[in-house]
């Protein structure tokens, strides 16, 4: 222990000398920390980064931000300097490497000049968590890192590392390893995929390829989450990966290869729950994983709707946008028991939304996010939204939908976003949506709605409404002066720190609704709808400028008193009159003696 080692160095100490050692021990630790701080006299920060080491000045250990001391021995066990603005050179004999009891070390987003400090990390043999991400590290992983055999989590993403994974293979206790956004090339060795305790491995955004070496992976792997997106792998990688019996999450998105991926049910993947294949050319796909709940097939050049999907009884999230799908959406899709979020796009007109087909849509009450924008859907929206439904987002914008909005939408008490822009929907303003308790966004723009926008029989409430767009319709009438008062009160009363930044649920897939905003004749897509759009300006009392309203020209230059105005005019006349008389006199003289010159000068 830290204190005992110092006591033993004293020998047979008297009680007084023992108390001296106890007093100096924590002081020695703080001295090491301050010495480490002094190695970086210049800190490079931007406005988003705090300077943790600024507090490392006192003799009180509680004031050392980012440092955790052991409660019994006083040694430093955790050092979190993520974004601490450290820059310069970190030598192998730095004070950092004398903190031998460190278990957690975070140095990400620092700016060290060289890669030479990494060998010094081999001295910190008690490390369990090491984060060196976004530090500009260049070159190969040094062999000294293999001495950190207690590491369970290692993050080296966002650097410029190359070469072999060999120094990492001795870290037998690793459970989480992130090497994404580097320059590793070559194949993915099975020895890396089958490390004894490794459950999380991120190799996204490198230059990896697959080769015959990867064909001998063992099924004994503990790996559960594997990220291989944005590399140069092709379909051959699937066979060895299918032997990873515990694999639940697999990301193979956007492989920079000309070879298509064939994903067939003969492969394993019995534990697979989430699969990302977007931005790949897929020639054949048939996934037999019974536990699959999330499937991303955007931009995969798929021509026909994959029939295997109907057998995925646990599927909750399905994205198939920007493919080459034709015809109508299959009937069985609307009856899938677990489907919550659906996002599709078709290349030819579909009759999937016609009212006569509502019989197969009876389970649409199970969907929370129905996103079908930018298709060629024709027909009507059926009255299929029942009280037991959980629909939160309905986006069928930019299609060819006709008819009226289904009145069963008022049963969707969880509904937050309704976007039907760019269709041919008719009917009067949907006053009947006014009592939906959670409705925040209503976009009716560019349809064929008509009639009055205000009615005494239907006083508006819309308690949560934040954005409404009813432009490019045939609405008539005028708005009363207090029309928006109820809508703005709630927005003003919510403190910014107590509300989210964007409309919609961020949940685990970071999904946010989008809409088009037209400003001065230009359409702009809001990929995320900010909650900060508060109503303001006349006739409302709330200023659009808050407390920093720009002063008007009148306020900037107050009108001078009447007496001062008279004096100013007198001064101007006193200067103007003699000037005019002098000019006329000079002109007369010139004209009398040199008329030709006069004409040339003034072109009369």
CATH of the domain at 542: 3.80.10
> What range defines the domain where residue 564 resides?
363-574
Q: Which tokens go with 574?
A: 């006193």
Binning pLDDT at 50, 70 and 90, where does residue 445 land? very high
Question: Is the Cβ–Cβ distance between 162 and 115 less than 8 Å?
Answer: no
Question: Is the Cβ–Cβ distance between 244 and 226 less than 8 Å?
Answer: yes
How far is residue 399's CA from residue 407's CA, in Å, rounded to a whole number? 20
Mean of the per-residue pLDDT values of the chain = 75
Residue-by-residue DSSP string for 411-447: G-TT--EEE--SS--EES--GGGTT-TT--EEE--SS
Tell me the per-residue pLDDT of 523-577, one tens digit each, with 9 for 90 and over: 766 666 655 556 566 666 666 665 555 444 444 445 555 444 444 555 555 555 6
The answer as to whether 231 is a domain residue is no
**Which pLDDT belongs to residue 535?**
58
Binning pLDDT at 50, 70 and 90, where does residue 489 land? very low
What's the mean pLDDT in 25-33? 74
Tell me the per-residue pLDDT of 519-531, one tens digit each, with 9 for 90 and over: 666 776 666 665 5
Look at residue 465 and tell me whether its pLDDT is greater than 60.
Answer: yes
Look at residue 597 and tell me whether its pLDDT is greater than 60.
Answer: no
What's the mean pLDDT in 427-445? 89
First to last CA, the chain: 105
What's the mean pLDDT in 407-429? 91
The answer as to whether 25 is a domain residue is yes
Q: Which residues pair with 502 in a beta bridge?
A: 530
**Which pLDDT belongs to residue 150?**
96
**Which comes out higher in pLDDT, residue 143 or 489?**
143
What's the mean pLDDT in 582-588? 60
Q: Which of 355, 369, 313, 361 is CA-nearest to residue 334?
A: 361
The answer as to whether 29 is a domain residue is yes
Q: Which of 202, 263, 211, 268 is CA-nearest to residue 229?
A: 202
The answer as to whether 477 is a domain residue is yes
What's the mean pLDDT in 33-62? 66
The answer as to whether 412 is a domain residue is yes
**Which pLDDT belongs to residue 585?**
61
Q: Report the interhelical angle of 2-10 vs 15-38 (nearest 10°).
A: 120
Q: Report the interhelical angle of 562-593 vs 595-602 (nearest 10°).
A: 130
**Which comes out higher in pLDDT, residue 134 or 288?**
134
What's the mean pLDDT in 138-162? 92
Tell me the per-residue pLDDT of 245-255, one tens digit each, with 9 for 90 and over: 899 999 999 99
**Which pLDDT belongs to residue 52?**
67
Domains contained in the chain, number: 2
Binning pLDDT at 50, 70 and 90, where does residue 257 land? confident
How far is residue 505's CA from residue 502's CA, in Å, rounded to a whole number? 8
**Which comes out higher in pLDDT, residue 164 or 200?**
200
**Which pLDDT belongs to residue 281?**
87
Domain final position from 120, 152, 184? 152
**Which comes out higher in pLDDT, residue 294 or 483?**
294
What's the mean pLDDT in 488-498? 45
Interacting residues of 314 by C-beta distance below 8 A, sequence separation 6+: 290, 291, 292, 293, 338
Tell me the per-residue pLDDT of 69-115, one tens digit each, with 9 for 90 and over: 888 888 889 998 887 777 777 777 888 888 899 999 998 888 776 66
Question: Is the Cβ–Cβ distance between 191 and 213 less than 8 Å?
Answer: no
Q: Which residues pair with 400 in a beta bridge?
A: 378
CATH (domain of 116): 3.80.10.10
Beta-strand ranges (E) seen in 489-546 are: 515-519, 522-526
Residues in the chain: 604
Place of tokens 């064909």: 215
The answer as to whether 161 is a domain residue is no
Secondary structure (3-state) at 363: helix
The answer as to whether 158 is a domain residue is no
Environment class of 308 (CB within 10 Å of its CB; exposed 0-12, middle 13-18, buried 19+) = middle
Q: Which tokens go with 597?
A: 């010159």
Domain final position from 122, 152, 182? 152
- Region at 102 (left for phi over 0; alpha for psi -120 to 50; beta for the rest): beta
Tell me the per-residue pLDDT of 313-369, one tens digit each, with 9 for 90 and over: 999 999 988 888 877 778 888 788 888 888 887 665 444 444 333 333 334 576 788
**Which pLDDT belongs to residue 124?**
92
Q: Which tokens go with 519?
A: 């400003």
The answer as to whether 415 is a domain residue is yes
């Amino acid at each position: 222990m830290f204190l005992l080692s110092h006591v033993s160095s004293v020998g047979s100490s008297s009680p007084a000398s023992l108390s001296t050692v106890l007093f100096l021990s924590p002081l020695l630790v703080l001295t090491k920390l301050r010495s480490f701080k002094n190695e970086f006299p210049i800190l490079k920060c931007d406005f988003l980064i705090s300077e943790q080491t600024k507090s490392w000045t006192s003799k009180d250990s509680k004031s050392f931000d980012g440092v955790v001391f052991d409660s019994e021995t006083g040694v430093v066990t955790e050092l979190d300097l993520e974004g601490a603005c450290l820059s310069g050179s970190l030598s192998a004999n730095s004070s950092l490497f004398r903190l031998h009891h460190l278990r957690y070390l975070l140095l990400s987003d620092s700016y060290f000049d060289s890669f030479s400090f990494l060998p010094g990390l081999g001295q910190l043999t008690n490390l369990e968590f090491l984060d060196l991400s976004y530090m500009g590290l260049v070159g190969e992983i040094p062999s000294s890192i293999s001495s950190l055999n207690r590491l369970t989590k290692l993050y080296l993403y966002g650097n410029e590392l190359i070469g072999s994974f060999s120094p990492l293979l001795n870290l037998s206790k690793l459970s989480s390893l992130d090497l994404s956004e580097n320059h590793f090339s070559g194949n993915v060795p099975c020895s890396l995929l089958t490390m004894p305790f490794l459950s999380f491995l991120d190799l996204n955004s490198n230059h990896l390829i697959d080769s015959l070496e990867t064909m001998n992976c063992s099924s004994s792997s503990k790996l559960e989450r594997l990220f291989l997106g944005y590399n140069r792998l092709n379909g051959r990688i699937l066979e060895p990966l299918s032997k990873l019996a515990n694999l639940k999450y697999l990301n193979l998105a956007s492989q920079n290869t000309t070879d298509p991926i064939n994903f067939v049910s003969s492969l394993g993947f019995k534990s697979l729950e989430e699969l990302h294949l977007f931005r790949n050319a897929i020639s054949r796909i048939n996934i037999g994983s019974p536990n699959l709940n999330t499937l991303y097939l955007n931009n995969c050049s798929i021509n026909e709707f994959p029939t295997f999907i109907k057998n995925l009884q646990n599927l909750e999230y399905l994205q198939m946008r920007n493919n080459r799908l034709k015809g109508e959406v299959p009937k069985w899709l609307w009856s899938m028991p677990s489907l919550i979020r659906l996002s599709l796009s078709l290349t030819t007109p579909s009759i999937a939304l016609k009212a006569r087909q509502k019989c197969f849509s009876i389970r649409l009450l199970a969907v929370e996010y129905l996103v079908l924008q930018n298709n060629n859907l024709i027909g009507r929206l059926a009255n299929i939204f029942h009280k037991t439904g959980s629909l939160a987002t309905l986006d069928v914008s930019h299609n060819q939908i006709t008819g009226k909005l289904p009145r069963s939408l008022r049963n969707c008490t969880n509904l937050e976003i309704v976007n039907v822009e760019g269709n041919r929907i008719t009917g009067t303003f949907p006053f009947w949506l006014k009592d939906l308790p959670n409705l925040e966004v209503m976009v009716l723009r560019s349809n064929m709605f008509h009639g009055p926008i205000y009615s005494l029989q239907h006083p508006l409430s819309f308690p949560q409404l934040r954005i409404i767009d009813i432009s490019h319709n045939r609405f008539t009438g005028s708005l009363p002066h207090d029309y928006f008062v109820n809508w703005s009160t709630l927005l003003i009363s919510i403190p910014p720190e107590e509300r989210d930044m964007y409309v919609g649920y961020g949940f685990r897939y970071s999904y946010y609704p989008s809409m088009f905003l037209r400003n001065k004749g230009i359409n702009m897509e809001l990929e995320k709808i900010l909650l900060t759009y508060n109503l303001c300006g006349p006739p409302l009392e709330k200023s659009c400028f808050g407390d920093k309203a720009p002063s008007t020209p009148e306020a900037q230059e107050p009108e001078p008193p009447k007496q001062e105005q008279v004096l100013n005019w007198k001064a101007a006349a006193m200067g103007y009159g003699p000037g005019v008389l002098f000019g006329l006199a000079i002109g007369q003289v010139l004209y009398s003696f040199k008329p030709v010159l006069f004409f040339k000068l003034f072109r009369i």
